[in-house]
């Protein structure tokens, strides 16, 4: 199987379900969250893409089990949803981008996810290894794509926008083939919009087909309660000054009857749909949503910026989808769609509310960025930290044995928290 004839942007939907929360760092027992029901409800509500990684503890296994059910097989054939996963990151301080490990990782992911192929495979947190290692990993993933067909599209993911741009340009220059997709996290938020100002144009010029925005709360930074502190300790990389600026912004929002996280989620989803369209996708924003949810979608088929949202409970999913439908209803006015065709209650009043809410969010966002201040707006922390050393041990480029591999999940894993948790799930929708 050679490179797919159709670009990824032809079919990838603009909302992707993130599964970084399906691990022990954020939930005592991820299996007790009811993940199978959660995934099935997401499919029913029109979310047909799932982002995961071997680095996210048992997330791949949990997602694979949820998708490998009679209900999903009966109503959602494998070619109707996307699985996006990653290779290369093993632990907080251990990376392996060698061809042998990449190949083994793909095989293991297919097994855990119970699928014959992976729609997208990213090189995970690529700023932690050398450009040469990234290039070798991309070439190996493409070799797997062409020879085995277990990978369809290849990309990179990471935090520093300029590093992502440089790597995308290098890969195009050295291989003659652009990346299918690049994922950036915490770089199009209320606090930091570098993905738009510094990244999108360069990535598109490097031929990247899709550019996704993940972690719209900045890994939990933009919450009324501040960054999460749990089993992983106080792991968030934001400096104290930025943390305090965000706390001040949360107080400012609260004084106006708003929650920082509610404004932040809607700001990122709504604005990236438009601003990220050059690196967006054409897949349906609600796919074939169950009619019981009431969305008769009639948006024109135009590219929309792609966002990745993490949830870990059904209640969070419901609230996120209510906001998403309202965002789409406001967008419909821009695209000349029929008012009220997306939100599930009264058509005219919901549409008018969505438009009014969009304007309110713009005004609130301006005020919040003013409170955060010029010192911290668009501030990006170092990744990796100065002096980082990859602790991955290799002998003549041979992968670790199974005993060492089995121990890897116990290592601390600084993955983003839920973007809609109990302390900040989005609720900015009209009452139903």
Query: What's the pLDDT at 333?
Result: 62
**Burial class of residue 131, CB neighbours in 10 A (0-12, 13-18, 19+):** middle
Query: What's the pLDDT at 116?
Result: 98
Whether the per-residue pLDDT at 351 is higher than 80: the answer is no
**pLDDT tens-digit readout, 253-309:** 999 999 999 999 999 999 999 999 999 999 999 976 654 544 455 666 899 999 999
The region, left, alpha or beta by phi > 0 then psi within -120 to 50, assigned to residue 233 is left
379 part of the active site: no
- Using alpha carbons, list the distances in angstroms from residue 230 to 98, 227, 314, 364, 402: 33, 10, 22, 30, 29
The mean pLDDT of the chain is 85
Name residues whose C-beta falls within 8 Å of residue 139's C-beta, 6 or more positions apart in sequence.
99, 175
The answer as to whether 421 is a domain residue is no
Q: Tokens 């609260």 identify what position?
A: 254
The answer as to whether 425 is a domain residue is no
Q: Tokens 């993905």 identify what position?
A: 195
Q: Which two tokens stand for residue 402?
A: 């199974």
The answer as to whether 418 is a domain residue is no
Which has more confidence, 362 or 403? 362
| Calpha distance 157→179 (Å, rounded) | 11
- Using alpha carbons, list the distances in angstroms from residue 180 to 8, 10, 207, 337: 7, 12, 8, 30
Residues 94 and 411 sit within 8 Å (Cβ to Cβ): yes
Strand pairing category for 181-185 and 151-158: parallel
Give the CA angle between residues 78, 81, 85 to the nearest 5°: 100
The answer as to whether 420 is a domain residue is no
pLDDT, mean of residues 183-201: 98
The answer as to whether 431 is a domain residue is no
Nearest to 160 by CA among 418, 374, 385, 392: 385
| Calpha distance 119→279 (Å, rounded) | 18
The answer as to whether 109 is a domain residue is yes
pLDDT bucket at 419, cuts 50 / 70 / 90: very low
The H or E element containing residue 369 is helix 347-372
Query: What's the pLDDT at 236?
Result: 85
Q: Which of 26, 55, 56, 97 is catalytic?
A: 56
Report the domain count for the chain: 1
Preceding peptide of 384 cis, ω within 30°: yes
Nearest to 41 by CA among 301, 317, 234: 317
The answer as to whether 427 is a domain residue is no
Q: Please, how many CA atoms are within 13 Å of residue 87, restricted to the half-sphere of its CB?
A: 30
**pLDDT tens-digit readout, 81-111:** 999 999 999 999 999 999 999 999 999 999 9
| Calpha distance 387→73 (Å, rounded) | 48
Q: Which residues form the domain of 66? A: 8-410
The answer as to whether 65 is a domain residue is yes
| Calpha distance 191→380 (Å, rounded) | 10
**pLDDT tens-digit readout, 306-346:** 999 988 788 889 989 999 999 998 886 665 444 344 444 44
| Calpha distance 59→53 (Å, rounded) | 7
CATH at 259:
3.20.20.100
- Using alpha carbons, list the distances in angstroms from residue 8 to 82, 280, 318, 329: 10, 10, 27, 25
């Amino acid at each position: 199987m050679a490179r797919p004839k159709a670009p990824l942007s032809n079919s990838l939907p603009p909302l992707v379900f993130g599964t970084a929360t399906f691990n022990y760092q954020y939930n005592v027992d991820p299996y007790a969250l009811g993940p199978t029901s959660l995934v099935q409800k997401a499919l029913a509500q029109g979310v047909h893409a799932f982002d995961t990684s071997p680095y996210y503890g048992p997330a791949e296994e949990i997602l694979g089990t949820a998708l490998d059910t009679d209900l999903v097989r009966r109503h959602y054939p494998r070619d109707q949803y996307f699985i996006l996963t990653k290779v290369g990151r093993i632990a907080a301080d251990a990376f392996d981008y060698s061809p042998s490990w990449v190949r083994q990782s793909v095989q293991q992911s297919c097994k855990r996810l119970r699928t014959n192929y992976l729609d997208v495979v990213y090189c995970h947190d690529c700023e932690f290894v050398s450009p040469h290692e990234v290039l070798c990993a991309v070439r190996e993933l493409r070799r797997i794509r062409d020879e085995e067909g277990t990978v369809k599209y290849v990309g990179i993911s990471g935090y520093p926008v300029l590093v992502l741009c440089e790597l995308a340009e290098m890969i195009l220059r050295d291989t003659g083939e652009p990346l299918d997709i690049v994922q950036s996290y915490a770089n199009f938020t209320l606090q930091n919009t570098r993905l738009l100002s510094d990244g999108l144009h360069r990535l598109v010029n490097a031929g990247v087909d899709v550019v996704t925005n993940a972690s719209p709360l900045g890994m939990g930074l933009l919450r009324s309660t501040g960054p999460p502190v749990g089993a992983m300790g106080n792991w968030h990389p934001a400096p104290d000054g930025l943390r305090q600026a965000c706390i001040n912004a949360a107080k400012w929002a609260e004084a106006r009857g708003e929650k920082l996280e509610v404004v932040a989620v809607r700001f990122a989803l709504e604005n990236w749909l438009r601003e990220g369209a050059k690196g967006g996708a054409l897949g349906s924003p609600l796919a074939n949503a169950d009619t019981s949810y009431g969305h008769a979608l009639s948006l024109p088929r135009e590219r929309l910026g792609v966002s990745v949202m993490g949830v870990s409970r059904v209640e969070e999913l419901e609230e996120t989808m209510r906001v998403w439908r309202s965002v789409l209803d406001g967008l419909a006015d821009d695209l000349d769609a029929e008012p009220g065709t997306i939100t599930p209650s009264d058509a005219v009043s919901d549409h008018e509310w969505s438009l009014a809410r969009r304007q309110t969010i713009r005004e609130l966002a301006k005020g919040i960025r003013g409170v955060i201040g010029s010192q911290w707006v668009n501030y990006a922390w170092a990744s990796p930290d100065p002096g980082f050393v990859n602790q991955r041990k290799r002998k003549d480029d041979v992968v670790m044995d199974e005993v060492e591999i089995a121990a890897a999940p116990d290592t601390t894993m600084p993955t983003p928290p839920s973007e809609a948790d109990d302390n900040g799930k989005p609720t900015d929708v009209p009452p139903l």
